[in-house]
């Protein structure tokens, strides 16, 4: 996933005892969602994908669709450092990837996509996956069945069993599982007015740069030219389709290491899993004969993530192979892509995954949600140098302070937290931010620091944070009131309301993190 401002870019659920996640996109509700969930289960069965008998597809705890335990699932009696029990298993040929062996063979071979998928195309992995998704779900031709999230299917042709299988599956899956653009949360799809609601110009600028790159790629590969740089054939996805597909894959893709190299893919059904920090799952390819098809899947969506590798030994207890001769049965010959977990789950509990150790800026940019009390959020201390005393004398005391003092202050702030785990998590995240920027780094700095230099650090950090707070257009109280009015009032169901709510939550978390930082500094200066 992409880091903020970087090109290498590699919703959320509250677990029991986990930090709550709030998303801005919803895949449906009520009876309509129940019918779609049942249709997804039938689709999985039709095409040889399997869910553990204790697992089903249903509404998430706070939003959208999720992988939910229909009955208590005891911990698996397995040995080893990595999860081995397969909870979801998908034939590799249904997984979209231009780099993971065995995935989407028909889409990868499509001449319409050759320029985009060429090794020298320069297209980011999100764009290559978007092309595969559009070709499979909306490219027209053989396969039949279904439409796609509100955008008309394009023209073009295709034939053969593989083309028919991939397109038949992905047209139905996109229709049932992938929300239309207006219900996706990625900042790629936000308008200028919505970006201004963030009150974070750096994040808004990163979103604009990414959108410009995505639009430029559409012109390059689908702007009507043939030959080098342009995709040939009669299929021309619209810019709206291209943006929809890119937003869909960047928020749903998984990263997996194969032979030490990070590869990205979009595995259907696994992408229904929502986010919980530290979720005890792993994912990755597994060959039909058993054994891992790669170095093991990381425990989070996207690239650049870290997690335990998985073994292919765990198998579903009720996963018969698809009936011989079925049009949709083939495709498992190359192996499977699996979601694995040995943990115990209660009835009604979601099987979540971790998207990685991401700040709220990163989560909002790519997925459209924020975590309350995100343990990986950090204070913005980029302007701190302007508030530190200028050092000109040789041998002056380093502008550092005791890490232990910050940790003690964070513990004291967490103990006094009146709003529960989220407030305590903010105190710890604020202290981690301050320690990374101002804490002693080695024995020399420890010996050279003085009470006066530590006090100067405290004063500079406080001035930096107060300067940030003074520049906000609205206060924490105003944002909280606006969010409550939006959720309780008639505007909650209007177009754009979910994105405005996400922006308000993001602003609130930033301001509450700064408030937590100021409290940590106060306690640190007071000796806890």
Q: For residue range 224-254, what is the model confidence (pLDDT) as tens digits?
A: 655 445 555 567 899 999 999 999 999 999 9
Contact of 340 with 86, CB cutoff 8 Å: yes
**Could you give the number of structural domains in the chain?**
2
* Domain presence at residue 5: no
* Domain presence at residue 402: yes
Closest of 25, 29, 28 to residue 369, by C-alpha: 25
Report how far residue 337's alpha carbon sits from residue 267's, in angstroms, rounded to the nearest whole number: 7
Report how far residue 401's alpha carbon sits from residue 465's, in angstroms, rounded to the nearest whole number: 17
Same domain for 288 and 145: yes
Same domain for 335 and 442: no
User: What are the C-alpha distances in Å from 44 to residues 14, 90, 124, 172, 199?
Assistant: 26, 8, 30, 11, 42
Same domain for 382 and 333: no
- Of 288, 320, 340, which residue sits at a domain end? 340
pLDDT of residue 389: 82
* Domain presence at residue 299: yes
CA torsion angle 322 324 327 332 (round to 10)? 50
* Domain presence at residue 497: yes
* Domain presence at residue 6: no
* Domain presence at residue 352: no
pLDDT of residue 30: 43
* Domain presence at residue 436: yes
Same domain for 172 and 121: yes
CB pairs under 8 A, 24+ apart, for 433-438?
Answer: 433/378, 433/379, 433/381, 433/517, 434/379, 434/381, 434/406, 434/461, 434/517, 434/520, 434/521, 435/403, 435/406, 435/407, 436/378, 437/381, 437/384, 437/461, 438/384, 438/399, 438/400, 438/401, 438/406
- Of 325, 340, 355, which residue sits at a domain end? 340
Q: Determine phi and psi for 54, rounding to 5 degrees.
A: -90, 5
User: What element of type H or E holds 298?
Assistant: strand 296-301
| Structural domain that includes position 481 | 374-525
Report how far residue 519's alpha carbon sits from residue 521's, in angstroms, rounded to the nearest whole number: 5
Same domain for 233 and 188: yes
Query: Tokens in use for 78?
Result: 């397995």
List Cβ neighbours of 295 (8 Å cut-off, separation of 6 or more).
Answer: 256, 257, 258, 259, 260, 284, 309
CATH number (domain holding residue 91): 3.90.1410.10
Same domain for 336 and 379: no
Same domain for 439 and 330: no
Same domain for 386 and 329: no
Report how far residue 85's alpha carbon sits from residue 351's, in angstroms, rounded to the nearest whole number: 13
List Cβ neighbours of 476 (8 Å cut-off, separation of 6 or more).
Answer: 508, 511, 512, 515
Same domain for 225 and 91: yes
* Domain presence at residue 422: yes
Contact of 93 with 100, CB cutoff 8 Å: no
Q: Which residue numbers in the chain have pLDDT < 50?
A: 1-31, 141-159, 227-228, 289-300, 303-330
Report how far residue 391's alpha carbon sits from residue 51's, in angstroms, rounded to the nearest whole number: 63
- Of 319, 340, 361, which residue sits at a domain end? 340
């Amino acid at each position: 996933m992409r880091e903020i401002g970087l090109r290498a870019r590699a919703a959320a659920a509250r677990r029991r005892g986990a930090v709550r996640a709030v998303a801005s996109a919803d895949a449906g509700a009520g009876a309509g969602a129940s019918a779609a969930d049942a249709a997804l289960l039938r689709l999985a069965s039709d095409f040889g994908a399997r869910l553990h008998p204790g697992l089903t597809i249903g509404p998430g705890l706070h939003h959208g669709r999720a992988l939910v335990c229909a009955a208590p699932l005891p911990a698996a009696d397995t040995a080893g450092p990595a999860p081995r029990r397969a909870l979801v298993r998908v034939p590799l040929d249904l997984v979209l990837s231009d780099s993971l062996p065995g995935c989407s063979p028909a889409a990868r071979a499509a001449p319409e996509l050759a320029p985009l998928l060429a090794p020298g195309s320069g297209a980011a992995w999100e764009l290559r996956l978007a092309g595969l998704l559009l070709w499979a779900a909306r490219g027209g031709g053989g396969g039949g069945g279904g439409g796609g999230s509100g955008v008309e299917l394009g023209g073009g042709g295709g034939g053969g069993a593989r083309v028919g299988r991939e397109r038949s599956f992905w047209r139905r899956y996109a229709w049932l599982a992938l929300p239309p653009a207006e219900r996706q949360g990625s900042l790629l799809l936000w308008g200028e007015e919505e970006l201004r609601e963030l009150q974070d110009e750096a994040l808004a600028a990163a979103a604009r740069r990414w959108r410009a790159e995505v639009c430029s790629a559409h012109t390059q590969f689908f702007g009507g030219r043939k030959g080098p740089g342009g995709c040939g054939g009669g299929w021309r996805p619209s810019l709206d389709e291209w943006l929809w597909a890119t937003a869909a894959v960047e928020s749903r893709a998984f990263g997996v290491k194969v032979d030490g190299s990070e590869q990205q893919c979009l595995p259907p059904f696994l992408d229904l899993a929502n986010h919980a920090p530290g979720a005890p799952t792993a994912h990755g390819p597994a060959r039909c004969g058993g054994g891992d098809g790669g170095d093991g899947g990381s425990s989070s969506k996207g690239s650049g993530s870290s997690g335990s590798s998985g073994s292919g030994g765990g198998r579903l207890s009720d996963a018969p192979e698809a009936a011989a001769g079925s049009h949709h049965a083939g495709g498992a010959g190359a192996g499977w892509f699996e979601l694995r977990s040995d943990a115990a789950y209660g009835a009604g509990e979601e099987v979540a995954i971790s998207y990685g150790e991401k700040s709220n800026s990163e989560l909002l940019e790519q997925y459209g949600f924020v975590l309350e009390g995100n343990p990986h959020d950090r204070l913005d201390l980029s302007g701190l140098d302007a508030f530190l005393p200028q050092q000109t004398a040789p041998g002056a005391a380093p502008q550092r302070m005791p890490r232990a003092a910050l940790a003690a202050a964070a513990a004291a702030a967490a103990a006094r937290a009146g709003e529960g785990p989220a407030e305590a998590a903010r105190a710890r995240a604020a202290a981690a931010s301050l320690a990374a920027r101002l804490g002693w780094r080695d024995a020399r700095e420890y010996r050279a620091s003085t009470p006066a230099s530590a006090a100067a650090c405290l004063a500079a950090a406080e001035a930096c944070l107060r300067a940030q707070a003074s520049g906000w257009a609205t206060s924490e109280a105003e944002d909280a009131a606006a969010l409550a009015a939006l959720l309780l009032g008639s505007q909650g169901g209007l177009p754009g309301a979910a994105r405005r709510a996400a922006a308000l939550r993001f602003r609130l978390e930033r301001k509450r993190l700064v408030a937590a930082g100021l409290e940590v500094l106060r306690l640190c200066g007071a000796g806890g």
